[in-house]
Structure 1
Amino acid sequence: MKILKKEFYSRDARIVAKDLLGKYLVRNYDGNILIGKIVETEAYIGKIDKACHAYNNKRTPKVMPLYGEPGIAYIYSIYGMYKCFNVITGEYDNPQGVLIRAVEPINGVEIISQNRFNKAYEKLNKKEIINLTSGPAKLCIAFKLEKDLNNIDLFHEKLYLSEGISEKVEIIETTRIGIDYAEEAKEFNWRYYIKDNKYISKK
C-alpha cells in the first residue's frame, strides 16, 4: 500500500480531513496487520478554533505535538482512560490537526474483535460489530493506539496512513461532537463523514 507522504499532510486541516476519508489506517501490532478505512474525521485549527487544544497559542507538554511537523501522531487521553488519535497537518509551529473519529474494519478483524470485546469476531452480535470502531476511543482500543505512539511520524511500519481503494463517496459536512464549551467554534462544520457508512459515530 502506498503510504501517504508528508506533502499530503502539509495542508489546511479542513482539506486534509476531507481527503482522509476513504484512506486506510494501518497498524502493525505484534506482527498482525490491522487495517481500517477512515470514514469520519474532524478538523481543528489552533489560531481560530476554541475547540483546539492549542487555541490562543497554548503550549503545554501535552499539546506540543500540535506544533510539530505535519504527518506526526497526536494521541491524548480523555476522561483519564480513553485515547484519541489525531494526525498533525499544516506547517511546523502552526497548530492544527485532524481527529480520526471512526474507521471501517478491513483487515485483522479477529484481532480487532479481541482487542475491543475480548471475544472472537464470529461471536459478536450486530450491535457489537458496528461498535468495533465507530468512535475515536473505540478505534484506539481496537487498533491498540496508545500513548507510546504519541508524537511519532506516520511514515513507518508501526503505524501509517495509506491510499485506499479508489471509490466515489459522498461527503457530509457538519458540526463536531462534544465541544459545547467552544462557543462559536461549536458551530463550525468541520466534521466530515462518508454518507451512509454504518461505522460513523453519529449522523
Structure 2
Amino acid sequence: MTEKLPREFYLHDTITVARALLGCILWRRRRRELLAARLVECEAYLGANDQASHARRGLRSPRNESMYLIGGHAYVYFTYGMHWCLNVVTQEADIAEAVLLRAAEPLRGIESMRKRRPKAKRDYDLMNGPGKLCSALDIDRRLDGEPLDGDRLFITARESEIDESEITVSARVGVEGAGDAAFWPLRFYLRGNRYVSAYRV
C-alpha cells in the first residue's frame, strides 16, 4: 500500500483534484476487513456559483454541512430515497466545493462487495455508479465528515502514472435542471475503462 494522500492534496482547486483522483485507490476499513477500489470516474462541484451543487447560492443545512469543512473530508449524502453518494471535500473551509466519486474498479475484498451487491452480474457492475460504489464499500451517513487520512476511509496515491490523453471530459450526469451548469465539462473518467458508469461519450 502506498502512503495516504496528504491533506494538502485536497486543498488545490477542485478540477485539479478531480483529475488527480483518477487512478488513486479508495480504501474502506470495516471491522477487521479492508476493502479497496481504484477510482475511474469523478465529477467536480464548484460551490456557490454552481447550480448543480448542493451549496449553490451559498445554501447551508445540516445535510450539506460537511461540504463546508476543510478539504480532505468526506461528504456523504442520501439521494433518490435509496442511494448514498460519497464526495471528497476540496479547498479551504467554507468554500464548499467537492468531488463526487462516481465509479471505481474493485481491487480488494471483492467477495464482500459481491455480497453487498448481489444484483451485480459482473465485477465491473459492482461499482459503476456512485450509489453502487457506496453500497459495495458499505459507505453511508456514518462516514459523513470523516477525515480522509484516517483509519476507516482513506485514499492512497496512484500505483502508476496516468497520461492526460487517458482522461475523457464530459458534462456531468443527472444535473439537467442546473441551467448552464448542466453543460459544464466537469466529469472526468478513464478512457475505455469498463468500470466507468454507463454514461459515456
**TM-score normalized with structure 1 length:** 0.93
Alignment of 1:58-77 (within 5 A): 58-77=59-78
In structure 2, C-alpha distance between the alignment counterparts of 1:164 and 1:10, rounded to whole Å: 18
Moved >3 Å (runs of 4+): none
Map Cα deviations across residues 55-77 of structure 1 (whole Å, 9 max, x no partner): 10111111111111110000000
| Greater alpha carbon shift after TM alignment, 84-93 vs 161-170 | 161-170
* Offset of residue 38 of structure 1: 0.2
Tell me whether 1:199 sits opposite 2:200 in the alignment. Answer: no
> After superposition, where does 1:44-193 map in structure 2 within 5 Å?
44-117=45-118, 125=121, 128-169=122-163, 170-193=166-189
Q: Distance in 1 between matches of 2:68 and 2:31?
A: 30
Secondary structure (helix, strand or coil) at the match of 2:179 reads: helix
Rounded Cα–Cα distance in structure 1 between residues aligned with 2:177 and 2:162 = 35
Q: What amino acid maps onto 1:72 in structure 2?
A: H
Consecutive unaligned residues in structure 2, runs of 5 or more:
none
Give me the identity figure in percent.
36
Query: Distance in 1 between the 2:56 and 2:93 partners?
Result: 16
CA deviation profile, 1:87-129 (whole Å, cap 9, x unmatched):
10011111100000000011111111111118xxxxx74xx32
1:113-152 deviation digits (Å, cap 9, x = unpaired): 111118xxxxx74xx3221000000010000001000011
Shift of 1:166: 1.1
Figure out how many residues of one structure are paired with residues of the other and give that number.
196
TM-score (norm 2): 0.94
Gaps of 5+ in 1: 119-123
**3-state SS of paired residue (1:155):** coil
- Return the offset for 1:158: 0.6
SS at match of 2:117: helix
Question: What secondary structure is seen at the aligned counterpart in 1 of 2:116?
Answer: helix
Distance 2:92 2:65 in 1: 14
SS at match of 1:66: helix
CA distance in structure 1 between the partners assigned to 2:161 and 2:34 by the alignment: 22
Cα distance in 2 between the residues matched to 1:63 and 1:113: 30
RMSD after superposition: 1.2
